[in-house]
């Protein structure tokens, strides 16, 4: 119901509309604006069909077309569609991202075909080219450096730090014993709580302390496990503090702010590397391998010292990383946040990858933090995720870390090779050509003619548009 003020405005507006020759359409637009600016109540309780109907009616001039488009992307298998509907809340359709594959990755002496889910043209092609290039030059070598994950209990303690330190030393064992019901299954798989330490953060915020815990979660990403442990830590901390006889009443009142895992995992590291004699770098686009190697190293050095370049440089790495992380049902937002934090660990955002020339050998490598899982979550539910993991021969979490790191390094190599030789736009725009042709709904004859024209020409959006106009005139 409209409030009195709104109602008066509404009546006044109606009087004006009556005097207009376009009163019907204007009145309709006004009604629509009013409807769009009102909050909806109980939306989550509506059925899927009701949600779609409300959205279509509220926001679209042709509701029937909007509804049909949403339903076009539903899975014809009702069971699969229900599965997707229940992944998140308020589901109205499925959003498709292409799932591609990059073959010929030689990793530690074994060939892999890597699934990649990504919408950006040229990414899969670039990864495949890099894989093929290094497959004849020794391939990629990888190793997991560490798999430690982190969680924290953040709390306020109004008292002497020395007393808190003494208290913590007395209850530390209790933190382990009172989480045994949570850690039992994880310990059976070789994981569990590694350590818990008390951290004094009072130089940052008055009276602020942490329980800083490290975990091993084996093949699971471990978010639920870690958070459950942390919440029990918080409960134990608060209960024991309230009973600690050496604390004053004020000190006994420990304030738990929050208990949560960290997506920054600098001790969950994997390394990927390629190397070969400089002379072996020679190929069609690298006629002078020495010059190429030197230019390549300089390009990496620029990304190491120049944040504006480093961001784009690392984005290219994440093209490969995110595509595999998404295809395997892992949390690419967590991975992104952790990796970019790692790139800033020395106080300035910098390149994740590094390169050198030493004794006539070219080396290119990267170390990145990756907290991944191959069990639990979407890995056990999403049919395409299960397919992707089977394509990778059902890797462990550590094996998946290595595969993902390789995809990122391959992508970075491909980008830098293009940048330091032919330029990035040559290959990228040729891959992007399909998108431009689709924008103009090009016929098969037009596609053949345009692809032939640009076989040896630089592709640009304006050039394609001009040629399209010529063909259609």
Identify whether residues 417 and 433 lie together within a single domain.
no
Domain assignment of residue 4, yes or no: yes
Same domain membership, residue 153 and residue 142: no
Say whether both 312 and 256 belong to one domain: no
User: Tens of pLDDT along 54-92?
Assistant: 999 999 999 999 999 999 999 999 999 999 999 999 999
CATH number, residue 235: 3.30.70.420
| 430 pLDDT tier (thresholds 50, 70, 90) | low
Query: Which value, to the nearest 10 degrees, does the dihedral of the CA atoms of residues 93, 114, 144, 184 take?
Result: 50
Whether pLDDT at 27 is above 80: no
User: Do 328 and 414 share a structural domain?
Assistant: yes
- The pLDDT of residue 448 is 79
Spatial separation of the C-alpha atoms in residues 209 and 259, rounded to whole Å: 12
Q: Does 291 fall in a domain?
A: yes
Query: Of 238, 262, 286, which residue is a domain's last?
Result: 262
Residue 386 structure tokens: 């299960």
Q: Is 170 domain-assigned?
A: yes
Residues 318, 402 within the same domain: yes
288: CATH: 3.90.770.10
Cβ–Cβ under 8 Å, residues 434 and 121: yes
Range of the domain at 185: 149-262
286 and 254 co-located in one domain: no
- What's the pLDDT at 373? 96
The confidence band for 182, taking pLDDT boundaries of 50, 70 and 90, is very high
CA distance 30 to 431: 45
- The tens digit of pLDDT for each residue in 315-333 reads 999 999 999 999 999 999 9
Q: Are residues 364 and 437 in the same domain?
A: no
Q: What is the pLDDT of residues 77-131, one digit of tens each?
A: 999 999 999 999 999 999 999 999 999 999 999 999 999 999 998 999 999 999 9
pLDDT at 20 over 90: no
Flag whether 43 is in a domain.
Answer: no
Does one domain contain both 276 and 373?
yes
pLDDT at 346: 97
Domain membership flag for residue 50: no
β-strand partners of 142: 272
Are 301 and 399 found together in one domain? yes
pLDDT of residue 19: 44
**Segment (H or E) for 115:** strand 110-117
pLDDT of 261 > 50? The answer is yes
**58 within a domain of the structure (yes/no):** no
- The two three-digit tokens of residue 49, written as one number: 């069909």
Which domain-ending residue is among 380, 399, 421?
Answer: 421
- Answer yes or no: do 451 and 416 share one domain: no
Contact assessment for residue 274 and residue 300, using Cβ atoms and an 8 Å cutoff: no
Domain for residue 67, yes or no? no
Are residues 440 and 380 both part of a single domain? no
| Tens digits of residue pLDDT in 388-420 | 999 999 999 999 999 999 999 999 999 999 999
pLDDT value at position 443? 85
By annotation, the residues acting in catalysis are 120, 315, 331, 428
| Any domain includes 65 | no
On the question of pLDDT at 308 being above 60, the answer is yes
pLDDT at 433: 76
The alpha carbon dihedral of 231, 235, 236, 238 has a sign of: positive
| Pair 282, 388 in one domain | yes
Among 421, 443, 458, where does a domain finish? 421
Number of domains composing the chain:
4
Q: Are 317 and 409 in contact (CB under 8 A)?
A: yes
């Amino acid at each position: 119901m409209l409030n009195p003020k709104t109602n008066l405005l509404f009546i006044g507006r109606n009087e004006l509309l009556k005097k207009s020759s376009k009163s019907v359409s204007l009145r309709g637009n006004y009604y629509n604006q009013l409807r769009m600016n009102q909050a909806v109540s109980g939306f989550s309780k509506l059925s899927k069909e009701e949600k779609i109907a409300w959205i279509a009616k509220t926001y679209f001039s042709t509701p029937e077309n909007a509804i049909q488009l949403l339903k076009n992307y539903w899975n014809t298998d009702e069971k699969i569609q229900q599965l997707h509907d229940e992944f998140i809340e308020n589901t109205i359709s499925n959003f498709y991202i292409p799932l591609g594959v990059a073959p010929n990755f030689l990793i530690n002496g074994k060939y892999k075909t890597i699934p990649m889910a990504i919408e950006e043209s040229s990414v899969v092609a670039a990864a495949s080219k890099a894989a093929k290039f290094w497959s004849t030059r020794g391939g990629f070598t990888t190793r997991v450096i560490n798999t430690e994950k982190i969680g924290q209990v953040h709390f306020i303690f109004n008292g002497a730090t020395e007393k808190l330190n003494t208290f913590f030393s007395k209850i530390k064992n209790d933190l382990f014993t009172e989480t045994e019901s949570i850690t039992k299954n994880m310990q059976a798989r070789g994981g569990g709580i590694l350590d818990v330490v008390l951290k004094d953060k009072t130089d940052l915020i008055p009276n602020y302390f942490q329980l800083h815990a490290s975990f091993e979660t084996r093949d699971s990403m471990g978010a639920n496990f870690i958070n459950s442990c942390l919440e029990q830590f918080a409960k134990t901390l608060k209960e024991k503090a309230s009973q600690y006889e050496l604390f004053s009443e004020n000190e006994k009142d420990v304030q738990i702010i929050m208990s949560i895992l960290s997506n920054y995992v600098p001790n969950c590291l994997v390394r990927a590397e390629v190397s070969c004699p400089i002379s072996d770098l020679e190929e069609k686009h690298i006629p002078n391998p020495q010059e190429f190697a030197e230019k390549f190293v300089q390009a990496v050095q620029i990304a190491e010292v120049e944040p504006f370049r480093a961001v784009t440089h690392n984005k290219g790495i994440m093209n490969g990383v995110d595509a595999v992380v998404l295809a395997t049902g892992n949390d690419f937002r967590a991975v992104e946040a952790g990796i970019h934090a790692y790139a800033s660990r020395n106080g300035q955002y910098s390149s994740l990858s590094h390169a050198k020339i030493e004794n006539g050998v070219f080396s290119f490598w990267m170390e990145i933090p990756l907290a991944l899982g191959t069990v639990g979550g979407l890995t056990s539910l999403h049919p395409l995720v299960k397919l992707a993991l089977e394509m990778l021969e059902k890797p462990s979490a550590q094996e998946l870390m290595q595969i993902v790191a390789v995809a990122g390094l391959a992508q970075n190599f491909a980008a830098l090779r293009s940048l330091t030789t032919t330029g990035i736009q040559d290959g990228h725009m040729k891959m992007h050509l399909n998108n431009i042709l689709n924008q103009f709904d090009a016929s098969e004859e037009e596609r053949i003619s345009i692809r032939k024209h640009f076989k040896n020409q630089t592709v640009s959006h304006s050039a394609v548009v001009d040629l399209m106009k010529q063909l259609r005139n």
